[in-house]
């Protein structure tokens, strides 16, 4: 059995069943979609942001630090000539009472994000027809 199975419910929508969960995608209206769900590329960014957020949250929880006010934001710089992303910027807003002594440590923790690690150590892709 595959890790992920893709189905096509209509229009520009593409759904993915992964580990028993359904992830719905669509294209923006400007690209011929209905704009009813994130695009696959948007989910790529959401994956990076949520992974970074998970590591930030886990760090705070492991140290008993209150997480109210903790925020992770992601933005990108785009190489317009290549049409590709040139930089991913992740900004972390710490809770008001976050101890100074842990500021470097939480950044190191967030840097452990497995999604980011897999991008930096890109896998080979194998395409085949059946």
* pLDDT bracket for residue 1 (50, 70, 90): low
**pLDDT attached to residue 19:** 94
- In this structure, are 51 and 28 located in the same domain? no
69 and 48, same structural domain? yes
Enclosing domain of residue 31: 1-38
Q: pLDDT tens across 98-108, in order? A: 999 999 999 99
- Is pLDDT above 90 for 40? yes
Are residues 69 and 12 part of one domain?
no
Q: Which of 13, 15, 12 is CA-nearest to residue 4?
A: 15
Q: Report, as an integer, the average pLDDT of 27-49.
A: 96
Task: Give the model's pLDDT for residue 118.
Answer: 96
113 and 86 share one domain? yes
Q: 94-127 burial, b for 16+ CB within 10 Å, e for fewer? A: beeebeeeeeeebeebbeebebbeeeeeeeeeee
For the domain that residue 48 is a member of, what is the CATH number? Answer: 3.30.300.20
3-state secondary structure the chain: CCCEEEEEEECCEEEEEECCEEEEECCCHHHCCCCCCCCHHHHHHHHHHHHHHHHHHHHHHHHCCCCCCCEEEEEEEEECCCCEEEEEEEEEECCCCCCHHHHHHHHHHHCCCHHHHHHHCCCCCCCCCC
Summary mean pLDDT of the chain? 96
> To 10 degrees, the CA torsion angle through 115, 117, 120, 125?
-60
pLDDT reported for residue 116 = 96
């Amino acid at each position: 059995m595959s890790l992920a199975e893709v189905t096509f419910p209509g229009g520009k929508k593409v759904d993915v069943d992964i580990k028993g969960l359904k992830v719905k995608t669509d294209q923006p209206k400007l690209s011929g979609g209905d704009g009813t769900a994130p695009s696959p590329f948007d989910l790529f960014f959401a994956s990076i942001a949520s992974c970074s957020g998970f590591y930030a949250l886990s760090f705070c929880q492991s140290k008993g630090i209150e997480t109210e006010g903790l925020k992770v934001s992601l933005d990108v710089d785009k190489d317009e000539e290549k049409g590709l992303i040139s930089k991913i910027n992740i900004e972390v807003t710490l809770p008001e009472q976050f101890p100074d002594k842990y500021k470097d440590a939480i950044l190191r923790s967030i840097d452990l994000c497995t999604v980011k690690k897999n991008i930096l150590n890109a896998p080979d892709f194998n395409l085949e027809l059946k």
